[in-house]
């Protein structure tokens, strides 16, 4: 594992998108085959440094995500390691056929960094929210889908792609702060959840920015004498079956929490697994089946119950 | 020299005839297929695989090879035929089209030797070709990239994103070939959604353009040998072709974009095509 240097921590402390860009820049220094593809996203991903050092290793495809995805596939066929840097709402839905055919079906090693996911661009409105991207990724074979909970994990996820023989989707935040929640020195294993709190009463399985709320919820629950297990499910696909099934067996119910529609996301993934293997009471904290309202991200999150308070309520419902 | 060229052209024309016969044979065995667009591309494919592309059929993943992407993947009958003729896989594969668990679907499968991309979703190949040409440049390889697109396919906007990018990136090692057979699934291109002025469009997007008769082997070979047409620019060959070329009743009609092929129809077609050398 290549530790995130202090300089990167300082620049990208609470921005997973910048941590992704800095890790990509570092990887490009070490591996001549690494190439970044921008969709007019150089600043969104903090790629100016890479442009300065290796101008020929940054391809700007412009505001043309379908073409950018196809280019990434073509590059990968030649042995290059393309990292496609796009806006989550556009690099997924806009170019999903290119992703399906040219990348996933063709089984090419393309890494997609998807910034501004969820409702991180709350004020931008529904056209700029990405609340179905994980559902799209989950429905496509061959893709590994990672949701780093903070910058440390975004950094580690980029380097973890070196060992993945296939396409990888890495879901990143927007411009709202994403405070650190993970141990900077912890190993990052794709497909293995991090257990952040031990507990045998109830389990909270969260990803991305909801991990911080999950930890806060566990702290609130402990004051009521409830021991909540907290799993940071940073890999949505492949899902950590063992961690989910253990939680179902060892605790009284599961609450999932994600900044994504509950259809097709983390909640759906957990529910599908449990329905097959061990039907268990669940609550899902996430976006309902509707387009989110406009508003500041914090307010929108609160409005839809993406909060520690709602996670607490959901846990208590399961224990009632 | 002239007689040498004549011999080359004669051989290429014979390979093109073999492609057409193999397309009819394969789709007769399968019961149906995309005859029209496979037949219009046959001469171009023969010239590409037996004259222009630098390939090693015995080593299909050879890194320095040229890349060919059949973006109009529904013409897979012709691609499979030319790959079999070039020795990428046994000729018997052509009798297995549409078979369960084969690599012989209606559209190209990247897992089949010689196939560079799983195409058929239209408007994908040129973007992939841009990536391939860029990869060759970054890897400092001499590989050239050729992408064949259909005319109806150019209605997909993603082609024009790719065209813009290829010119911006000065990808002179990239060539597009438009199999301009003027007919698409439901009728004439000009009636469905016209492309003209097509030369002007490509030029406006920053490509060097050459028009040719896509069934005149001398013109095809000359156009390929002259690539790239201008420095620091991608090139496009706009090849005027006839849909269903070679079999009178299948020519120039959308009814033979894809059609059923029974024994009687097959025999008529093969008789019209004639015997190879």
Reply yes or no on domain B2-273 having CATH 3.40.50.970: yes
Closest Cβ opposite residue A97 in set B116, B121, B141: B121
Measure in Å the smallest separation between the Cα of A39 and chain B Cα atoms.
Answer: 12
Residue A319 CA, chain-centre distance (Å), reads 29
What does the block give as tokens for B175?
């060539």
Cα torsion angle, B125, B141, A105, B168, sign: negative
Same domain, A135 and A236: no
Q: Which residue in chain B has the smallest CA separation from A73?
A: B128
Say whether pLDDT at A15 is over 90. yes
Same domain, A145 and A201: no
Establish if A231 belongs to a structural domain.
yes
Say whether pLDDT at A32 is over 90. yes
Contact list in B for residue A77 (CB cut-off 8 A) is: 67, 116-117, 128, 131-132, 135
pLDDT in single tens digits along all 277 residues of chain B: 567 999 999 999 999 999 999 999 999 999 999 999 999 999 999 999 999 999 999 999 999 999 999 999 999 999 999 999 999 999 999 999 999 999 999 999 999 999 999 999 999 999 999 999 999 999 999 999 999 999 999 999 999 999 999 999 999 999 999 999 999 999 999 999 999 999 999 999 999 999 999 999 999 999 999 999 999 999 999 999 999 999 999 999 999 988 999 999 999 999 999 999 9
Q: What is the pLDDT of residue B37?
A: 97
A198-215 mean pLDDT:
98
Same domain, A143 and A244: no
Same domain, A103 and A239: no
Same domain, A216 and A122: no
CATH number at residue A205: 3.40.50.920
**B187 shares contact with chain A (CB less than 8 Å):** no
Q: Is the pTM of this model over 0.95?
A: yes
Q: What is the pLDDT of residue A53?
A: 97
Same domain, A49 and A145: yes
Same domain, A242 and A302: yes
Q: What is the pLDDT of residue A13?
A: 87
Same domain, A259 and A151: no
ipTM of predicted complex: 0.96
- A230 near A195, Cβ under 8 Å? yes
Contact yes or no for A75 and B133 at CB 8 A: no
Contact yes or no for B117 and A56 at CB 8 A: no
Same domain, A201 and A160: no
Same domain, A130 and A224: no
Could you list the residue range(s) of the whole structural domain that residue A241 is in? 194-319
Same domain, A80 and A199: no
- A117 near A133, Cβ under 8 Å? yes
CATH number at residue A13: 3.40.50.970
Residue B199: CB atoms within 10 A of its CB come to: 14
What would the pLDDT profile of A69-118 be if each residue is shown by its tens digit? 999 999 999 999 999 999 999 999 999 999 999 999 999 999 999 999 99
Contact yes or no for B129 and A107 at CB 8 A: no
What does the block give as tokens for B88?
């990428």
Same domain, A222 and A157: no
Q: What is the pLDDT of residue A302?
A: 96
- Tell me the C-alpha distance between B183 and A19, whole Å: 50
**B208 shares contact with chain A (CB less than 8 Å):** no
Establish if A1 belongs to a structural domain.
no
Q: What is the pLDDT of residue A33?
A: 98
Q: What is the pLDDT of residue A1?
A: 73
Establish if A183 belongs to a structural domain.
no
Strand partners, B149: B178
What would the pLDDT profile of A146-199 be if each residue is shown by its tens digit? 999 999 999 999 999 999 999 999 999 999 999 999 999 999 999 999 999 999
| Boundaries of every domain in chain B | 2-273
* Residue A192 CA: distances (Å) to CA of A45, A146, A244, A286: 26, 11, 10, 22
Contact yes or no for A67 and B117 at CB 8 A: no
Establish if A189 belongs to a structural domain.
no
- Residue A285 φ/ψ, nearest 5 degrees: -95, 120
**Mapped to the 3 state alphabet, what secondary structure does chain A carry?**
CCCCCHHHHHHHCCCHHHHHHHHHHHHHHHCCCEEEEECCCCCCCCCHHHHHHCHHHEEECCCCHHHHHHHHHHHHHCCCEEEEEEEHHHHHHCCHHHHHHHHHHCCCCCEEEEECCECCCHHHCHHHCECCHHHHHHHCCCCEEECCCCHHHHHHHHHHHHHCCCCEEEECCCCCCCCCCCCCCCCCCCCCCEEEECCCCEEEEECCCHHHHHHHHHHHHHHCCCCEEEEECCEEECCCHHHHHHHHHHCCCEEEEEEEECCCCHHHHHHHHHHHHCCCCEEEEEECCCCCCCCCHHHHHHHCCCCHHHHHHHHHHHHC
Residue B96: CA count within 13 A, CB half-sphere: 14
Q: How many domains does chain A have?
A: 2
Establish if A151 belongs to a structural domain.
yes
């Amino acid at each position: 594992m290549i530790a995130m240097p202090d300089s990167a921590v300082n620049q990208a402390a609470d921005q997973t998108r910048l941590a992704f860009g800095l890790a990509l820049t570092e990887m490009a220094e070490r591996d001549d085959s690494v190439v970044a593809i921008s969709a007019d996203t150089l600043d969104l991903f903090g790629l100016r440094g890479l442009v300065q050092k290796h101008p020929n290793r940054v391809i700007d495809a412009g505001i043309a995500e379908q073409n950018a995805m196809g280019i990434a596939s073509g590059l990968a066929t030649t042995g290059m390691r393309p990292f496609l840097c796009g806006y989550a709402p556009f690099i997924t839905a806009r170019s999903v056929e290119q992703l399906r055919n040219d990348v996933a079906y063709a089984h090419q090693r393309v890494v997609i960094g998807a910034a501004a996911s969820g409702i991180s661009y709350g004020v931008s409105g529904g056209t700029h929210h990405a609340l179905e991207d994980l559902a799209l990724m989950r429905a496509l074979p061959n893709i590994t889908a990672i949701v780093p909970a903070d910058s440390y994990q975004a950094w580690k996820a980029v380097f973890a792609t070196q060992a993945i023989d296939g396409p990888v989707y890495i879901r990143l935040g927007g411009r709202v702060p994403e405070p650190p929640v993970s141990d900077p020195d912890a190993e990052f294993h794709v497909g293995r959840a991090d257990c952040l709190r031990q507990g045998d009463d109830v389990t909270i399985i969260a990803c991305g920015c909801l991990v911080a709320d999950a930890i806060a919820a566990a702290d609130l629950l402990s004051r009521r004498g409830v021991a909540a297990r907290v799993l940071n499910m940073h890999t949505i696909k492949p899902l950590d079956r063992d961690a989910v099934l253990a939680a179902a067996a060892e605790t009284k119910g599961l609450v999932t929490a994600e900044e994504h529609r509950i259809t097709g996301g983390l909640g759906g993934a957990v529910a599908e697994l449990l329905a097959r293997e061990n039907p268990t009471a669940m609550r899902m904290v996430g976006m309902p089946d509707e387009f989110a309202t406009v508003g500041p991200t914090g307010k929108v999150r609160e409005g839809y119950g993406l909060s520690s308070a709602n996670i607490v309520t959901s846990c208590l419902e399961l224990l009632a | 020299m002239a007689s040498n060229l004549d011999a080359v052209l004669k051989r290429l024309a014979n390979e093109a005839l073999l492609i057409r016969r193999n397309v009819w044979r394969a789709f007769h065995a399968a019961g149906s297929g995309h005859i029209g667009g496979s037949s219009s591309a046959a001469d171009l494919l023969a010239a590409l695989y037996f004259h222009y592309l630098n390939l090693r059929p015995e080593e299909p993943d050879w890194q320095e090879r040229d890349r060919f992407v059949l973006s109009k993947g529904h013409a897979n009958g012709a691609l499979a035929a030319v790959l079999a003729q070039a020795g990428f896989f046994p000729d018997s594969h052509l009798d297995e089209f549409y078979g369960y668990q084969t690599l012989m679907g209606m559209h190209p499968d990247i897992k089949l030797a010689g196939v560079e991309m799983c195409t058929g979703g239209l408007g994908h190949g040129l973007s992939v070709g841009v990536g391939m040409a860029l990869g060759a440049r970054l890897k400092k390889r001499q590989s050239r990239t050729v992408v064949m697109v259909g005319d109806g396919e150019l209605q997909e906007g993603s082609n024009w994103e790719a065209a813009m990018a290829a010119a911006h990136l000065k990808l002179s090692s990239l060539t597009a070939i438009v199999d301009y057979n003027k007919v698409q699934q439901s009728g004439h291109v000009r009636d469905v959604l016209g492309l003209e002025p097509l030369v002007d469009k490509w030029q406006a997007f920053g490509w060097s353009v050459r028009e040719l008769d896509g069934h005149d082997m001398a013109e095809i070979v000359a156009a390929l040998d002259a690539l790239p047409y201008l420095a620091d620019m991608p090139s496009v060959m706009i090849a005027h072709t006839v849909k269903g070329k070679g079999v009178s009743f299948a020519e120039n009609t959308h009814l033979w974009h894809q059609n059923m092929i029974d024994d009687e129809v097959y025999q008529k077609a093969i008789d019209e095509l004639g015997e190879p050398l």
